[in-house]
Structure 1
Amino acid sequence: MQPMAINNQRRKLLKGSFGAVALSPWLTACSSTAHEDKKASLISCSRTANGRFGAVVADSEGYPIHSISLPERGHGVAISPNGELAVAFARRPGNYMQLFSIKTGQSYSITAAMPNRYFYGHGVFSSDGLTLYTTEGEKDTSEGVIGVYQLQGTQLIKVKEFSGFGIGPHEVIRFDDTTLAIGVGGVHTKGRVPVNLESMKPALVYLSTETGKVLESVGLPDHKLSIRHLSLTGDGRVLCGQQYRGEPEDGVPLIAVHRRGESLQLLNAEPEEWLRFHHYIASIAVLGDHVLATSPRGNCYGVWNLATNKLVEVVSLADASGVVVNNSDSDQPQWHISSGTGRTINRTEHGDVTSHQTNIMWDNHWSKVPQV
């Protein structure tokens, strides 16, 4: 496939990106040389009080180092394995992805979705960092697509697509060097409005990176549990967090764990405890024997013991957003948790907590910068 000629949609995105450079004072300040002594550790999309959007490179406490202007609201961020480049994805149904330098905060190419496609907000690099896999959909049908892009200098060039695995893919992670795991939500939408709730077919899908072939696909008993966000355990299991599309009073399990070749196994909590999460899991991350899941709608996060699949604790946190595990920046591995109010929390598996108040309205996900 040849590189696409620039089209009107791409021109609008470029204009919007450059037109949003006049940011609030803290965004301007966090790209200054005064922050060069900080180590880049975390990246997330963000919002500002004046309604602008960006991606922020931050230290391990969530304090900003660089900011990258985005033309519209962002969602997930993919980071190259060598820790040099990152890609911010538009929130679904999104029209752009923005490549930038983690070290300098410099924006590189902005890639517009093809005219009959949109982005679902997530992507992941191959283990060698030369290929980017993105979740996309057909506008008219929400038929799922994995876009395959080659990194050529500071350009992302689409070379092929994988399809035929389901409707409404959301997060994609690298299961191993030849396999992707995809949270397929099953929801056909017009814009952000669902139109097939009675017939939706969510699934956790494993896909070959070489051929695009479906290697395995598993679903949940309740077809209104839309599989969305993923995390990988140290022993090769996949955690998936769901959005429930059923009745408001239903307290249904929102997290499941899967080992290849077996069925999905639900994590346990009482119905009233599940209702605390308001039917939505935003981010999940595994540390040791425990998984932590956030819910901005529920203003809380929960911790489960994976040895027993039982809920250990629910903690109130206004607009609880991203969570990611840090195994490298401290003596003790810990979760980093963000919130839309600017509060950040570092928490060990044993429950030791430190918190900080930043001036950033963090969006739903955090990504960890590898220390290489």
Structure 2
Amino acid sequence: MRTRLPTDAIGPQDQSPFGAQRRTLLRWLALGSGASGLLGLAEPAWADVRQRATKTGSARLAAVWQDKTGEVVQDWAGVLQVDAGANGYTWRIGKSLKLPTRGHGVQRLADGQLVFSARRPGDWLVRWNPSKAEAHWAWMEEDRCFNGHVVVGSQSTAQKVSSTAAVLLTTETDLENSQGCIGLRHAITLKKLAEWPTHGMDPHELLVLPSAMGNLPAGTLIVANGGIPTQSETGRSKKWIDRMDPSLVALHPEDGRLLGQWRLPDPRLSTRHLAWDAQRQLLGIALQAEHDDDQRTRAPIFAIWDGTALSLAQGQPSLAGYGGSVECAPGADGGFVVSCPKSDCTAWFSADGRFLRTVAQTDVCPLALDGSLLWSGGGHEVGRHVPTDKVWHAADASGAVQALQFDNHWRLY
């Protein structure tokens, strides 16, 4: 049975939610398994916070990580500062926030605040102001769990459910029937305002289309349904893999009705993470294979959606069947980069879906496009990629960070 604390055990604005008993319980679960004028809309992944050229040589990355220096692993969210110097790049931890369990996805808001979501099956969401060290927490109700990702809905979505504030969209699972849903939440209070079905199980990453695409209106919500059945009492354990039904869905921005649904021929390829190329109107999808045998190690890790068809990239090598995250590639030619932590490399693909090369980097997972650069994280190492090089360039860490382990995602801040 999946044990949960009462929802009123800790208030959503409690600044110190990490009592020893709750921390122990949450870790056990994880291992066993304002108006719009004030807050405004966020810059989504396709906005120019990610497309800007790096003029100063420095960058900031909103990230999550684990600190393994002590006897008990501690989870953190925070902002990394990367600086260019005479002898190359260095990085350090700037602001940080202690987390009760592992974090996963992050969304930047227009006023500089950050929203982090717990890794699935998660029970917390936090809006954090790094400059003021203020955190506002929300805890999931008993019969739902967070699935690790959050974005800001379009203005049409916000107007439909709330006339005074931006709306956050979170991927969630109904623990009673394993069906996926989108939580529509007030961006200031984090209170759930409405809920839309995702027409599939195990929804993971989601994004909002910045402009109309064929018959899909601007603001359309694109969701990757991972398709893996689970039970509430088993946490992250996967059940009934033979019943997998992954899909990519498009939901209307005003009422969440289904506008389209696409599937790959192989139902054991879970659709997980998304990257949007606004210039070419292409979506890159990182896949994670769930086959029972050696077929998993040879399974493809990347697919492309052009608004009409969902298709696998061509010429993919064997990369353990696991794409950790995906990002648009730097450079004028476009394309996509998929991190492959189980194969210790990044895999690069052209805009038309052809495999190009791999670049070795140990335990690499989080990726962030920064104009003409790509930042990648592997273990405790920060890597810098430029389009003309076939290798990555390490930034030296400032301070003792040898036991730090970056988690799946980070975002340019």
Compute the TM-score of the two structures, normalised by the length of structure 2: 0.75
1:367–1:164 distance in 2 versus 1, CA, 3 Å: closer
Task: Answer yes or no: is 1:114 the counterpart of 2:114.
Answer: no
Alignment of 1:301-320 (within 5 A): 301-307=346-352, 309-320=353-364
Tell me, in whole angstroms, the C-alpha distance in 2 between the residues paired with 1:165 and 1:291: 27
Per the TM alignment, residue 39 of structure 1 is displaced from its structure 2 partner at its CA by: 7.0
Alignment of 1:127-166 (within 5 A): 127=154, 130-152=166-188, 155-166=189-200
Per the TM alignment, residue 14 of structure 1 is displaced from its structure 2 partner at its CA by: 6.8
SS of equivalent to 2:191: strand
Bigger strand share: 1
Write out the 4+ residue segments of structure 1 that deviate beyond 4 Å after TM superposition: 13-16, 18-21
Among candidates 299, 306, 310, match of residue 259 of structure 1: 306
Partner of 1:362: 406
Tell me, in whole angstroms, the C-alpha distance in 2 between the residues paired with 1:83 and 1:338: 26
Conserved 8 A contact 2:270-2:290? yes
Query: Which sections of structure 1, spanning at least 5 residues, go unmatched?
Result: 22-37, 328-332
Per the TM alignment, residue 121 of structure 1 is displaced from its structure 2 partner at its CA by: 0.4
Partner of 2:336: 291
Partner of 2:76: 54
Q: Which moved more, 1:53-62 or 1:244-253?
A: 53-62
Tell me, in whole angstroms, the C-alpha distance in 2 between the residues paired with 1:107 and 1:134: 21
After superposition, the C-alpha distances for 1:66-124 in whole angstroms (9 at most, x for unaligned) are: 101111111111111x25111111110001011101434x2321111111000000010
Per the TM alignment, residue 248 of structure 1 is displaced from its structure 2 partner at its CA by: 3.6
1:158–1:169 distance in 2 versus 1, CA, 3 Å: same
Conserved 8 A contact 1:183-1:229? yes
SS of equivalent to 1:63: strand
Alignment of 1:131-280 (within 5 A): 131-152=167-188, 155-176=189-210, 177-190=218-231, 191-233=235-277, 234-250=279-295, 251-260=298-307, 262-270=308-316, 273-274=317-318, 276=319, 278-280=320-322
Per the TM alignment, residue 17 of structure 1 is displaced from its structure 2 partner at its CA by: 3.3
SS of equivalent to 1:198: helix
1:39–1:355 distance in 2 versus 1, CA, 3 Å: closer
Conserved 8 A contact 2:365-2:376? yes
Compute the TM-score of the two structures, normalised by the length of structure 1: 0.83
Tell me, in whole angstroms, the C-alpha distance in 2 between the residues paired with 1:142 and 1:10: 27
Tell me, in whole angstroms, the C-alpha distance in 2 between the residues paired with 1:336 and 1:242: 21
Conserved 8 A contact 2:198-2:223? no
Conserved 8 A contact 2:125-2:137? yes
Conserved 8 A contact 1:40-1:65? no
Conserved 8 A contact 2:59-2:412? no
Conserved 8 A contact 1:343-1:355? yes
Per the TM alignment, residue 15 of structure 1 is displaced from its structure 2 partner at its CA by: 5.5
SS of equivalent to 2:18: helix
Query: Which sections of structure 2, spanning at least 5 residues, go unmatched?
Result: 1-5, 24-56, 84-90, 156-164, 211-217
Per the TM alignment, residue 164 of structure 1 is displaced from its structure 2 partner at its CA by: 4.9
Per the TM alignment, residue 316 of structure 1 is displaced from its structure 2 partner at its CA by: 2.2
Tell me, in whole angstroms, the C-alpha distance in 2 between the residues paired with 1:18 and 1:235: 49
1:18–1:83 distance in 2 versus 1, CA, 3 Å: farther
Number of residue pairs matched by the alignment? 334
SS of equivalent to 1:58: strand
SS of equivalent to 1:279: coil
Partner of 1:25: none
After superposition, the C-alpha distances for 1:17-45 in whole angstroms (9 at most, x for unaligned) are: 36699xxxxxxxxxxxxxxxx97621111
Percent identity between the two aligned chains: 23
Tell me, in whole angstroms, the C-alpha distance in 1 between the residues paired with 2:154 and 2:82: 24
Partner of 1:330: none
Q: RMSD in angstroms over aligned alpha carbons? A: 2.6
Among candidates 114, 123, 127, match of residue 86 of structure 1: 114
